[in-house]
Chains A and B, each alone.
Chain A
Amino acid sequence: MQSNNLLELAGAVSSGAVRVVDLTFTLSPDFPVIVLPPEFGQAAPVRIQEISRYDGRGPAWYWNNVTFGEHTGTHFDAPIHWFTGKNLPNNAVDTMPAKDMIAPACVIDCSAQAAQDPDFLLTVPLVEAWEAKHGRIPERNWVLLRTDWSKKGWRDYSNLKDDGAHTPGPNAAVMKWLVEERGVIGFGTETIGTDAGQAGHFEPPYPAHHFLHGAGRYGLQCLCNLDQLPATGAVIVASPLKIQNGSGSPLRVIALVAST
């Protein structure tokens, strides 16, 4: 590619010919985090503590100390996050190839089904039906599952019941298929977790984590604004914090979309 094209892209972004869609929730203490059974370790929630705010603690400057777990807010999952990916090379956020941080996306709109059924599952036939309309999913593409879940209030968003969360996601077969048959670079959702809320009961448990990370692929979750993306043609920029041997991190996810 010639450098002209890059300058062209920058110009298009600047002029608005290429829209930049922010797919990220604000990182804040009150954003829901994953809830595991209490006997397991828990993700530390986001904490923001003021260091100073133009006051006696620092007269001319404002800044905070921020703490959070790697898997809080809109965040990225690296292969090392799951046991299936623990022995892969370059499997952590600091060692993953930088080029994997930019890739096109296919957006599969299941918002209608998810509105009907919080336990809605994406299946191979559904993806095949999508392909029939939009073409085969190319290799090294993100597949983003649009459910409009990000538009819900926090209580419905996490939708916790006595038996755990009830949120949509992929079934085991479709994850194995996307990874092995379509070679996706990763899978992204609007919900907390790339897997469905009840995916602990699947075989294997948490199939999105299991198959993605086992094959060195990535996860994105707690995305928003997927409704502003075309089914194909958007380019995702997702570069996690370079945390030493990190399993993931909150990040800013943006999508570049050509104006129609």
Chain B
Amino acid sequence: MLQRCEACGSFAYPAREACPSCLSAGLAFVDAPRQGVLLAETTARVPSDVYFRERAPWRIGLVKMDCGPTIVTHLHADCVEGAPVRMSFQLDKSGQAVAFAHPEGETPNMADDKQWREMTADPKFRRVLVTNGRSMIGQEAVAALKAAGAKTVFVGVAEPWRPFAGEQLLRGQDGIEIVTLDAADEKSAADLAADIGGKVDILVNTTEYVRPGGLLDRRGTSIARDEIDQAYLGFINLAQAFGPAMRMRGADGINNSAAWVNILSVHALANWPAFGAYSASQAACMSLSHCLRAELRPGGVRVMNLFTGPVDTEWFQTVPPPKVAPRAIAQAIVSGLRGGLEEMYVGDVAEEIRQRLGANPKALERELDR
């Protein structure tokens, strides 16, 4: 994304309020061509900033974009002066969007680059806690993270005395460890954190508690309480149990703690009356996630929210398609972590709601009422 002048078409960087070619104020961010040439590079060995001081030596460069601007950028180790590069903006550990240059073509073990890994939360080599292994999403996430090279995947299972579908697939597998975790129970979360909290690099919160109904067709608050207990208070318990250690370990070598992932209903953004109370519990979690993001930021730990429409699971049986396959969510978790993203929309419903919310929120509210 770069600013492009709506009047004269020239690209501008760094971001500004008037076009340096024609002084037009119409500078919109657009997807810009990503090709450029590396003009010069330097290896900063004693940067003044403490973050980079700790990670020095650190390579940066100056890239002349084919579309015009010159960009100071972080460099992938395989970038060569005078050669073409491919640019992207990444969120660094402080949440700031920064330029990153990759070599034009593929190079061996490209994703393992030290500087690139600082920009992402690649599960490769890392230890991950998937908080709810009972759910389809949780189980698919375990498989996807393992396939992506995670060193260990801890799988939380509440009420371990209750068998569940798919349990056999998780047991006895190398690098997968079932642990007792009832996120809604303060003590359970604290007990597990005391046990493995120091080695959770990525936490994937797959808490799932979906029940239909809004206000008038439900009696009492016991289901709403369960929703709040599981989703919202569960989130708080997990955050209080695991967050402090994760924040402390944000710079703990190569396998530092890197990310916290929430899987949220896209109806956190716009209430869906058919699942109205559930939507509200998700909205509460989304709000909390922004708080968590701010609180984890000093440690350089990212919070990624993955928004999804109805998932192809039991509790959405009666909902017509399109629905999101749990496997698609699992793959999105991995790709989001690899890309170092803060937000992802998985599936058509989520994407549509995102767009329509931007275009006309009142119309969307009416639409969801059908």
Judging by beta carbons under 8 Å apart, are B223 and A41 in contact?
A: yes
C-alpha gap A62/B137 in the complex (Å): 39
In angstroms, how far is the closest chain A Cβ from the Cβ of B178?
12
Interface pairs (25), CB distance under 8 Å: A29-B182, A29-B185, A30-B159, A30-B180, A30-B182, A30-B188, A32-B161, A32-B162, A38-B314, A41-B222, A41-B223, A42-B226, A44-B226, A45-B182, A45-B185, A47-B186, A47-B229, A49-B186, A153-B161, A155-B160, A155-B161, A155-B163, A158-B161, A158-B162, A160-B161
Does B356 count as interface, using CB distance less than 8 angstroms? no
Across-interface contacts of A44 in B (CB, < 8 A): 222, 225-226, 229
Does B114 count as interface, using CB distance less than 8 angstroms? no
Judging by beta carbons under 8 Å apart, are A161 and B163 in contact?
A: yes
Does B187 count as interface, using CB distance less than 8 angstroms? yes
Interface residues of A in 135-160 (CB under 8 A from B): 153-155, 157-158, 160
Interface residues of A in 187-216 (CB under 8 A from B): none
Q: Which residue of A has the minimal Cβ distance to B186?
A: A49
Does A50 count as interface, using CB distance less than 8 angstroms? yes
In angstroms, how far is the closest chain A Cβ from the Cβ of B348?
27
C-alpha gap A94/B314 in the complex (Å): 40
Apart from A38-B314, A47-B185, 9 more pairs, CB < 8 Å: A30-B185, A30-B188, A45-B184, A45-B185, A50-B186, A154-B160, A155-B160, A155-B163, A160-B162
Interface residues of A in 1-39 (CB under 8 A from B): 29-30, 32, 35, 38
Does A98 count as interface, using CB distance less than 8 angstroms? no
Across-interface contacts of B163 in A (CB, < 8 A): 155, 160-161
Does A243 count as interface, using CB distance less than 8 angstroms? no
Size bin of chain B's contact surface: 10 to 19
C-alpha gap A154/B161 in the complex (Å): 5
Across-interface contacts of A153 in B (CB, < 8 A): 161
In angstroms, how far is the closest chain A Cβ from the Cβ of B236?
11
C-alpha gap A47/B223 in the complex (Å): 16
C-alpha gap A32/B161 in the complex (Å): 7
Judging by beta carbons under 8 Å apart, are A35 and B162 in contact?
A: yes
Judging by beta carbons under 8 Å apart, are B161 and A157 in contact?
A: yes
Size bin of chain A's contact surface: 20 to 34
Does A126 count as interface, using CB distance less than 8 angstroms? no
Does A101 count as interface, using CB distance less than 8 angstroms? no
Across-interface contacts of B222 in A (CB, < 8 A): 41, 44
Interchain CB contact (< 8 A) of B187 among A29, A155, A157, A158: A29
Chain B 217-228: CB-based contact to A (< 8 A → 1; otherwise 0):
000001101100
C-alpha gap A70/B309 in the complex (Å): 36
Does A48 count as interface, using CB distance less than 8 angstroms? yes
Known contacts A41-B223, A42-B226: does B186 contact A48 (CB below 8 Å)? yes
Across-interface contacts of A160 in B (CB, < 8 A): 161-163
Q: Which residue of A has the minimal Cβ distance to B223?
A: A41
Most central of B160, B184, B185, B226 by chain A CB within 10 Å: B185
Across-interface contacts of A48 in B (CB, < 8 A): 186-187
Interface residues of B in 198-236 (CB under 8 A from A): 222-223, 225-226, 229
Across-interface contacts of A45 in B (CB, < 8 A): 182, 184-185
Nearest 8 pairs of A and B residues by beta carbon: A154-B161, A155-B161, A29-B185, A158-B161, A32-B161, A49-B186, A160-B162, A160-B163
C-alpha gap A158/B187 in the complex (Å): 22
Chain A 44-59: CB-based contact to B (< 8 A → 1; otherwise 0):
1101111000000000
Across-interface contacts of B184 in A (CB, < 8 A): 45, 47
Interface residues of B in 310-325 (CB under 8 A from A): 314
Q: Which residue of B has the minimal Cβ distance to A35?
A: B162
Q: Which residue of B has the minimal Cβ distance to A41?
A: B222
In angstroms, how far is the closest chain B Cβ from the Cβ of A139?
38
In angstroms, how far is the closest chain B Cβ from the Cβ of A159?
9
Interface residues of A in 42-93 (CB under 8 A from B): 42, 44-45, 47-50
Q: Which residue of A has the minimal Cβ distance to B220?
A: A41
Across-interface contacts of B160 in A (CB, < 8 A): 154-155
Across-interface contacts of B229 in A (CB, < 8 A): 44, 47
C-alpha gap A154/B225 in the complex (Å): 26
Most central of B160, B161, B163, B314 by chain A CB within 10 Å: B161
Across-interface contacts of A49 in B (CB, < 8 A): 186
Q: Which residue of A has the minimal Cβ distance to B190?
A: A50
In angstroms, how far is the closest chain B Cβ from the Cβ of A38?
8
Across-interface contacts of B226 in A (CB, < 8 A): 42, 44
C-alpha gap A44/B225 in the complex (Å): 9
